[in-house]
Each structure stands twice: as C-alpha cells, then as structure tokens.
C-alpha cells in the first residue's frame, strides 16, 4: 500500500502541459526488451483514456481535464512485460494519482427555508435548530470547511439568536418574549474555506416562531363588582366580567377561570365565554331575601392552563369583592314542609275515627316566617273525602275512614290541602298529606327515595330501648307499601345501620361463615401491615439496605455525592493525578561511546494545548520540564498537536473524538508534498509529523503521541531537518549510529551540589522502554505520558509491551513534589535496542517494601538500570554495586546513595 | 526493481522528478 500519492493533478485544469506526469521503468529493460502498459479507471475503465502510456519509454501522460468531485483519485496499475513473450517481468505496481481539489463548489443548504419554534422564556443557549449545509469539495479540506453566519434578523434590534459558526446550531442568545415578537426571521450565510473572504457562499432563511407560555396573569378591569337580583329567581347572566390577559388569545394560557372565595351555599356559578374571555356570573339557586338581604362575596381569576414555572411562584390569590343585593318580593303563604305524613293507630275504633284529629296543617307567612293569618284552608285533591279541614286554623280531621282505602291501595292515602290568601290577587299554597297506619313497625325512621318510600323497621332484636341510645341488633329494610323486606343488616357501634346488599324484592341478606372468615382475615391484615412497615423502617435505620434481585452487583449503584456522576477525563492513562503543581525531571539517556541520546524534552516542532479547549498555534520550544509543569497545572489537559512548516485542517477536537483521522493524514501529506515542491527544489521530501492523540480510536493504548517518519533509503538528509528528539528516533529507526545532541549535559547527580531533593513522601518514576530497531522506511511510534502525583508513594507503573505498537516505544513518567528540580540520569546502554529505565527518589521514612516493580525482561538485549537517591543531608559516600553480568547483553545497574540522616535501615531489595 | 518517477507539481512550471520505490506503510 502506497503511503503517499505518487503524483497529483489539479481538477478543472489542463494538466497536459506537465506531461509526462510520471515514468515507470523496470531494471529488466537493461537486458530484456520490455514494454510497459497501464490499466484501471481513467484508462481502460470509465472515464476512458484520461491516462495513456508510451509503451516503450514508460512515460505516462494525462490527456483530459479531470473533476475531483467525479473521480477524486486514480490508481494506475503499471505493468512491465517482456516484449516478445508478454510475460510480466515485474509484479504490477500501483501508481496513485491524486486529483487536487479546487474550490469549485458552493455550500448547499439542506433546505431553502428552515422552520423552527422555541418557547418564550427559555433559557439562553437553548438549541433552537440546526442548519446543515454541505460542500461537494474535498472533505477535510478548507474548500469544504463551512462557516455559518447570521446575516440579518427581522425584526431588527438586539440579536436574539446566536449561530455556531462550525456546527450550524442556532441557539437562543437573549430573552425571548412572545408578547413582544412572536416570530423572527433570520438570513443565514454559509461560506466555505471556513468563512474566508475567498470562500464561496450561499444563503438560506430561518423562520423561528416564539411559542407562548403562560407567563402572564389575568387581570380584571375593575377592583370590585356588584349586582342585584330578586329573591326566589335564577339568572343565567347576572353579571359579565371582562378578563385581560397578554398571553396568546384563545389559548388556555389566555382563557380566564373565575372562582369564588366563599359562595358556601353554591348559589352562584362562573362560566367563561371562550370567545371574549368574559366571565359570566350565574345564579343557580334562588336567594331568600328573608334570610340574606345582601351577600358579600369574593372571587379571583386564574388561567385554565397552569402558570409557567417562571412566574408561578409570584401568583397570589387576591379576592375581588362582589356584592349581591337581594330584592324582596311579596310571597304567598306556603306549607312548610310541603308534604306531611300522619299516622293513625291500627287499633283505632270506628267511633274514635269520627272527628279524629289527624293534625295541624297551617300555612306559613313567607314574609314573617309565622303562621299565616290571612288565609283560608280548603281540601283540594281528596278522592275519598277522607279529610275535612278547619278553614281558619288548618286543623285536619278524619271525615270518614275505611281500612280498605289503605289496604286496597299502596298502604297510604294521599290528599292535598289548599291555603288561599284573602284579597286580590289571591294566592294559593298547596300542601300534601299522606296518611298511613301506625303499627309496631311504624316507629322506625322513614326513608324516602325517588322511586318508592321505604320504611326501616324497628330492630328485631332490641338490646337497648332507650331513645337516646343508639339502636343495636339487626335491621330490616322493606318498602313502606309492603311487608316484604328488601334488605337486612346489623347496627354498628354508633347506631349506624350497616347497609348490606340489596338482594331484590323478597330477598334477605345474610352473612355466611366464609364472609365472616374474610372479614376476620381483612382485619388481621390491617393489623399486620402497620407492624411490618414499622419493622421495615427500623431496618433502614439500622443500616440494612435492600439488595437488588439477582445477587450482589446487580442493579444500579448509587452515585456518590460530590462526584457529579461525570467521567473524569484526566487525560492521563493509568494514573490518578491530583490538583497539584508538578515539577518533572528531564531525563536524558546517553549512549556513551555510541553517543545515542534520547531526551525527554520535546523539540520545538509542536505546540502545546492546555485545558483541552484553547489551542495555541505557532512554534514554541518547550522542554520536558515546562511541559510537565503545564500538565500538572492543568490536570485535564488536552492533546498536543503540532505541524511543522504549516498548519493544516483538522482540529484538536477532531483528534480527540475520532482518534487519528487517516483521511486527514492523507490530505496532509499530499498538501505538504505540494507545498514543498513549490518552495524549495532542494528540500528533502521527507516529513516528520507528530500527532498527539488522546487515546483515540486506533491509537496505541496508553499513548498520547504518535510520530511517523516517512523516508526513503536513498536520501537521509532529512534527518538534519528534524528536531533532536525525533532525529534520534529516526536514526534509531534507520539503524544509524546515534550522535549525542550538543549542549545536552546529562550526568549523575552530584551529591555535594545544591541538590534540591523532593519533600518527604515524594516519588519520581521514570520508565523508558524501546523495542528492536525497525526496518528502514518504516514507521516509528513515540508515546509520551506525563503523570502527576501527590505526596504519597506511588507504585511503579508497569512498562508497556514494547512489541505491541511500532518499533520504538518511549514511556516517560514524572512524579514529584512541587519544587524539586531533578537531576538528569545518564544511562549507558550497550545497544540501541530495548531500554528500560526505572528511577526512584525516595524520601526518608518511606516504606520501600513492595514498591519496586522491575519488569522481568527475558529478552537478551535488555538493559535495566535502577537508581535510587535516598535522603538529603547525608555524608555517606555513595555505594554503587554492579552485579556480575554473565550475559553481556543484559546489564543491571543498581546504585544507592544513602545518607545518615535518611533513617533508612538498608532494607532495600533491588533485583 | 520496478521504479516510478513522478513529476512533482510546481506552479512555476519547474519540473522535478521524484523517484519512488515500493514502499509499505
């Protein structure tokens, strides 16, 4: 697979002036007759004939204008065959021709007009809509990079919306009030080349409706209202009250709802006319002037819809006074109650029946409430002429009586009496009389229904006969016109009859043993439930928590407080940095005689990015120390990216989210080759691209940096253009003898110098490892990790498998306190092969047991160096012990510097 | 070997041949 596009042509231009654009040649042509041929899209596949080849010279020409949007790339398969036998003398070779993009396409919106809506009073930055424009030019190229911009807003004034220039998302920028403007219209422009002046633009419109919410209280025109009505009359429209509301008309946010504060007798009712928001006061129950001449009511108004949360707390129920004057009307007398029931004893003799006084049926004067004095009484409906009445007093007597009148009928006799006022006009009041037989069962209360009259019989089993005592025992319900019981039951404790079911005429309700058992069971449950609930609450208080079904670990785990439940993107794999400033050490590895140097300080070919948001562009020389300090200061740091010579598209965010964008890399290399060819003929066409990737998709595990060397074995002068670090790495890749970087001094720490050791409990760990040198021209991956730690001892990090990714892996780990300036560590590896360096600086009183973790290197070309500097202030000469190395390929160096004040007892165990 | 020479792009119409050999990523 070719790494680069071998050749390029520009779309929309006549490229033939550059012919031949490429030549192929086989070494076999020196001693064999060779003919060359090509095939592929643009040659013998549509579009045909764009590329042709001189079969004898191998020169490839372009013949037509190409369109990148049609064919972004051509792959020419080149063949070299024997001129006579036609046998392929070389494996086919793919020559990729990249079509360079020109900005010949304008952004195209997905819609000409976008329609959207948003509620008023929404929070700022609320997303309203998202505009989408596409550009047919090359993806990941500036020609297709679209920037959005609001050109105008109607109605004009303060900008109510903000448009994200990159994403096309329209957000609220200001407080929206529908009552001010209920619709906005925006003209939006999309320009490619990221909005540059030379970009091509297109426009669309956005219509945004502001949706109403109930953020206005209804009000009334007046502070108080009054009305009057005659007594004993109803009104469907006693008063009309206009409500005013600024919310959207005819919506529930606008429609008023009137309600009374008072109105205990329910004589009045409000309804709202939804067409004009007028509240109509109705009188639904007659008023009695003699009882109340004036009513002082109060009412309030709200909306049918609930108030918006932004104003709901401000709503106060303020009653509006409403005075109702009742107008007196002259009323005729009346019988109160209008129906009276009289009983006659069953054992009444015939003699006694004559002139038997049934009772008094006097009419009442409505104006005074007393017995009417100016009326005369007459019998009205009395089919059997059973009664006679005293015309002046209303005394009712039996005229004649026949038991058959009751028995044949429904058990009672019904008649009407009249009370007629004297004078003109005469008013007549009518009363109803019901006569029935009094027997043992007639002592019970009488119930009245719409259908029939039912008499509740006296208790069949009377345990207490006192009138002021509640009845006990059983009861029977039966129609008043019959003896057949329709339901029976028992009296409960307070004398209330327990109404059983209604079995129908002639049926009787009885409770069986099963029903009693159910009742007992129900009572038991009522007793047990509170007890069990109390026990459960007690268990909670005692710390017992319910376990999820499915065993330990199933279900949700609670998010601890103060955690926020968010993912903490420390940006550092495998460590747990804290919010502390970190001072790192600059580690330099020297190859003594061979002069191999790999330093941790980063050469000035990239820029730093901090905090994960801001991007600092430009060239900036940073040392490893500076970098580490920065990382310590910004625990959640972003990736570091840098481009030599020129910046290209692709943002930090893209790398973070998508890992290494291979499309971007392709574009990068192509454009860089293009740019180099323009500016410097003698410039080597090699490149070093350092891309710090935040463990994105496809990047090596645990890495934040990748370095790719593209070189050709015929020309290695490009090494001189690299920074010292990557030059060294490239040289390792190429298998060259590595020379030390001038000016870089790295020695063991001088214990007599003013060495600032870290504070107690500080640990410095440096791990470096590298695998076997790669083959020439291959890719090198460099990983760098920087760790910050607190004041506690940190376990050694496992060294990553050097064989996993690429050919050289460098892992650097820094852990220190706030002020320590660590010394450089000089290592003399015998070979430029796998190197593992572990350095620890331990403070006094540290517990060193079990903290050292030197990897077991089974490979024969490994170097393990362990250095320890322990405790300041000591005058003890350093002791350096070098183990006897039977195998020359393995070197283990152990050095200890121990001073008297360290307090350590020499319990270190170093492999 | 099977060699490819490509004429590099140059706005100044100055050609420069660049030789490629088989390379793998």
> pLDDT tens across B1-22, in order?
788 888 876 666 666 777 765 5
Quick check: A563 pLDDT over 70? no
Report which of residues A129 and A900 the model is more confident about: A129
pLDDT value of position A636: 30
Q: How many percent of chain A have pLDDT more than 90?
A: 32
Residues of A in contact with B4 (CB under 8 A): 6, 22-24, 78, 93, 95
CA angle A438, A443, A446 (to 5 degrees): 95
Tell me if chain B has a CB within 8 Å of the CB of A18.
Answer: yes
Quick check: A92 pLDDT over 80? yes
3-state SS, residue A479: strand
pLDDT value of position A382: 87
Whether ipTM exceeds 0.85? no
Closest CA–CA distance from residue A799 to any residue of chain B (Å): 27
The answer to whether the Cβ–Cβ distance between B14 and A681 falls below 8 Å is yes
* Bridge partners (DSSP) listed for residue A454: A447, A479
Least confident of A99-103, A157-161, A466-470: A466-470
CA angle A81, A83, A89 (to 5 degrees): 25
Strand (E) positions, A411-502?
A: 412-421, 428-438, 446-448, 453-456, 474-479, 487-490
Tell me if chain B has a CB within 8 Å of the CB of A1.
Answer: yes
pLDDT value of position A435: 84
pLDDT value of position A763: 27
Work out the pLDDT band at A258, boundaries 50, 70, 90: very high
Which member of B2, B13, B14 has the closest CB to residue A90?
Answer: B2
pLDDT value of position A166: 95
Give the span between the Cα atoms of A882 and A279, in whole angstroms.
102
| Highest mean pLDDT pick, A56-60, A463-467, A509-513, A531-535 | A56-60
Give me A402's structure tokens.
Answer: 């026949």
The answer to whether the Cβ–Cβ distance between B13 and A17 falls below 8 Å is yes
A688-712 pLDDT tens trace? 444 444 444 544 443 333 344 444 4
pLDDT value of position A525: 66
Query: Tell me, what DSSP letter sits at residue A822?
Result: P
pLDDT value of position A670: 64
Work out the pLDDT band at A12, boundaries 50, 70, 90: very high
CA angle A56, A61, A66 (to 5 degrees): 155
> Which residues does A626 contact at the CB level (< 8 Å), separation at least 6?
none
The answer to whether the Cβ–Cβ distance between B24 and A100 falls below 8 Å is no
Report which of residues A514 and A83 the model is more confident about: A83
Tell me if chain B has a CB within 8 Å of the CB of A26.
Answer: yes
The answer to whether the Cβ–Cβ distance between A677 and B23 falls below 8 Å is no
Give the span between the Cα atoms of A256 and A258, in whole angstroms.
6
Quote the longest CA-to-CA distance of chain A: 162
The answer to whether the Cβ–Cβ distance between A714 and B19 falls below 8 Å is yes
The answer to whether the Cβ–Cβ distance between B25 and A90 falls below 8 Å is no
The answer to whether the Cβ–Cβ distance between A26 and B25 falls below 8 Å is no
Least confident of A246-260, A656-670, A671-685, A809-823: A809-823
Q: How many CB atoms lie within 10 A of CB A669?
A: 19
Give me A530's structure tokens.
Answer: 């509170």
Per the prediction, chain A carries an average pLDDT of: 64
For the purposes of burial, counting CB atoms within 10 Å of the CB of A589, is it exposed (0-12), middle (13-18) or buried (19 or more)?
Answer: buried
Helix (H) or strand (E) holding A425: none
Residues of A in contact with B25 (CB under 8 A): 1, 3, 779
Quick check: A501 pLDDT over 90? no
Work out the pLDDT band at A407, boundaries 50, 70, 90: low
Least confident of A259-263, A382-386, A659-663: A659-663
Residues of B in contact with A26 (CB under 8 A): 1-3
Mean pLDDT, residues A614-619 taken together: 31
Residues of B in contact with A20 (CB under 8 A): 7
Nearest CA in chain B to A88: B2
CB A124 within 8 A of CB A109: no
Distances (CA, A) of A167 to A129, A298, A326: 11, 56, 70
Give the best residue of A1, A2, A78, A669 to mutate against chain B (max B CB count within 10 A): A2
Quick check: A584 pLDDT over 50? no
The answer to whether the Cβ–Cβ distance between B18 and A91 falls below 8 Å is no
pLDDT value of position A533: 53
Of residues A137, A147, A132, A274, the one with CA closest to residue A204: A132
Give the span between the Cα atoms of A339 and A376, in whole angstroms.
18
CB A40 within 8 A of CB A1: no
DSSP string, A79-144: EEEETTT--BSS--EEEEEEEE-------EES-SEEEEEEETTPPTT-EEEE--EE--S-TTSGGG
Q: Which residue intervals of A237-361 are DSSP H helices? A: 309-312, 350-353
Report which of residues A533 and A788 the model is more confident about: A533
Closest CA–CA distance from residue A689 to any residue of chain B (Å): 14
Work out the pLDDT band at A241, boundaries 50, 70, 90: very high
Interface of A with B in 766-795 (CB under 8 A): 777-779
Which member of B5, B11, B12 has the closest CB to residue A22?
Answer: B5
């Amino acid at each position: 697979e070719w790494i680069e596009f071998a050749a390029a042509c520009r779309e929309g231009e006549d490229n033939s002036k550059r012919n031949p654009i490429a030549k192929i040649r086989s070494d076999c042509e020196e001693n064999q007759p060779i003919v060359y041929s090509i095939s592929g899209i643009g040659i013998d596949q549509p579009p045909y004939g764009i590329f042709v080849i001189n079969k004898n010279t191998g020169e490839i020409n372009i013949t037509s204008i190409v369109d990148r949007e049609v064919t972004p790339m051509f792959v020419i398969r080149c063949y070299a065959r024997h001129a006579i036998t036609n046998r392929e003398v070389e494996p086919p070779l793919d020559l990729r021709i990249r079509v360079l993009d020109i900005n010949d396409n304008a952004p195209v919106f997905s819609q000409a007009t976008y329609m959207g809506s948003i509620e008023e009073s929404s929070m700022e930055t609320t997303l309203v809509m998202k505009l989408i424009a596409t550009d047919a030019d090359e993806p990941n190229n500036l020609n297709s990079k679209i920037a959005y911009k609001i050109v105008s807003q109607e109605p004009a004034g303060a900008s109510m919306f903000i448009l994200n220039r990159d994403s096309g998302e329209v957000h609220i920028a200001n407080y929206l009030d529908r009552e001010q403007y209920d619709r906005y219209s925006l003209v939006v422009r999309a320009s490619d080349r990221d909005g540059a002046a030379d970009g091509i633009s297109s426009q669309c419109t956005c219509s945004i409706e502001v949706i109403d919410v109930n953020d206005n209280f209804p009000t009334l025109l007046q502070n108080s209202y009054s009305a009057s009505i005659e007594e004993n009359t109803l009104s469907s429209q006693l008063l009309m009250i206009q409500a005013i509301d600024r919310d959207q008309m005819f919506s529930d946010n606008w429609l008023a709802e009137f309600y009374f504060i008072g109105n205990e007798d329910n004589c009045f009712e409000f309804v709202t006319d939804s067409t004009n928001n007028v509240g109509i006061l109705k009188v639904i129950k007659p008023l009695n002037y003699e009882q109340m001449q004036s009513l002082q009511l109060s009412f309030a108004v709200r909306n049918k819809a609930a108030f918006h949360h932004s104003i709901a707390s401000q709503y106060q129920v303020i009653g509006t006074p409403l005075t109702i004057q009742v107008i007196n009307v002259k009323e005729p007398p009346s019988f109160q109650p209008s129906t009276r029931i009289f009983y006659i004893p069953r054992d009444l003799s015939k003699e006694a029946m004559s002139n038997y006084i049934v009772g008094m049926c006097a009419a009442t004067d409505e104006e005074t409430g007393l017995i009417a004095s100016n009326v005369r009484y007459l019998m009205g409906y009395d089919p059997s002429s059973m009664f006679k009445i005293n015309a002046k007093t209303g005394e009712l007597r039996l005229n004649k009586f026949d038991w058959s009148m009751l028995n044949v009928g429904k058990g009672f006799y019904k008649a009407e009496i009249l009370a007629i006022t004297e004078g003109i006009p005469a008013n007549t009041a009518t009363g109803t009389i019901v006569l029935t037989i009094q027997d043992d069962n007639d002592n019970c209360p009488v119930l009245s229904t719409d259908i029939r009259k039912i008499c509740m019989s006296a208790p069949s089993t009377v345990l207490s006969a006192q009138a002021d005592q509640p009845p006990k025992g059983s009861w029977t319900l039966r129609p008043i016109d019959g003896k057949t019981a329709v339901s029976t039951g028992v009296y409960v404790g307070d004398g209330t009859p327990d109404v059983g079911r209604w079995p129908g005429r002639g049926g009787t309700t009885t409770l069986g043993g099963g029903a009693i058992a159910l009742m007992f069971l129900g009572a038991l449950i009522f007793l047990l439930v509170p007890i069990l609930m109390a026990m459960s609450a007690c268990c909670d208080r005692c710390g017992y928590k319910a376990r999820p079904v499915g065993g330990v670990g199933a279900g949700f785990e609670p998010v601890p407080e103060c955690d926020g439940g968010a993912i903490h993107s420390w940006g550092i794999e495998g460590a747990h940095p804290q919010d502390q400033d970190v001072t790192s050490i600059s580690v330099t590895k020297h190859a003594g005689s061979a002069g191999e140097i790999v330093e941790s300080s980063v050469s000035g070919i990239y820029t730093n990015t901090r905090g994960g948001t801001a991007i600092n562009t430009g060239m900036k020389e940073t040392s490893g120390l500076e970098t580490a300090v920065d990382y310590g200061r910004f625990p959640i740091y972003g990736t570091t990216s840098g481009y030599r010579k020129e910046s290209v598209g692709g943002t930090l965010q893209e790398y973070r989210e998508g890992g290494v964008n291979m499309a971007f890399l392709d574009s990068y290399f192509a454009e860089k080759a293009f740019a180099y060819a323009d500016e410097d003929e003698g410039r080597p066409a090699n490149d070093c691209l350092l891309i710090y990737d935040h463990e994105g998709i496809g990047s090596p595990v645990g890495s934040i940096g990748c370095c790719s060397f593209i070189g050709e074995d015929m020309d290695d002068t490009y090494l001189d253009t690299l920074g010292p670090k990557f030059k060294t790495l490239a040289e390792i890749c190429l298998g060259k003898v590595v020379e030390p970087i001038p000016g870089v001094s790295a020695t063991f720490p001088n214990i007599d110098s003013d060495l600032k050791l870290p504070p107690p409990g500080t640990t410095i760990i440096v791990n470096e490892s590298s695998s076997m040198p790669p083959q020439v021209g291959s890719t090198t991956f460099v990983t760098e990790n920087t760790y910050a730690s607190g004041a506690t001892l940190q376990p050694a990090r496992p060294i990553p498998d050097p064989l996993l990714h690429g050919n050289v892996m460098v892992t650097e780990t820094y852990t220190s306190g706030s002020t320590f300036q660590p010394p450089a560590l000089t290592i003399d590896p015998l070979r430029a092969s796998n190197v593992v360096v572990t350095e620890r600086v331990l403070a006094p009183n540290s517990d060193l047991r079990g903290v050292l973790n030197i990897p077991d290197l089974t490979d024969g070309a490994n170097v393990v160096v362990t250095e320890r500097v322990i405790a300041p202030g000591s005058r003890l000469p350093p002791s350096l012990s070098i183990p006897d190395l039977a195998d020359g390929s393995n070197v283990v160096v152990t050095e200890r510097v121990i001073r008297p004040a360290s307090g350590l007892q020499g319990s270190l165990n170093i492999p | 070997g099977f060699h490819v020479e490509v004429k590099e792009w140059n706005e100044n119409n100055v050609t420069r041949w660049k030789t490629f050999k088989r390379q793998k990523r």
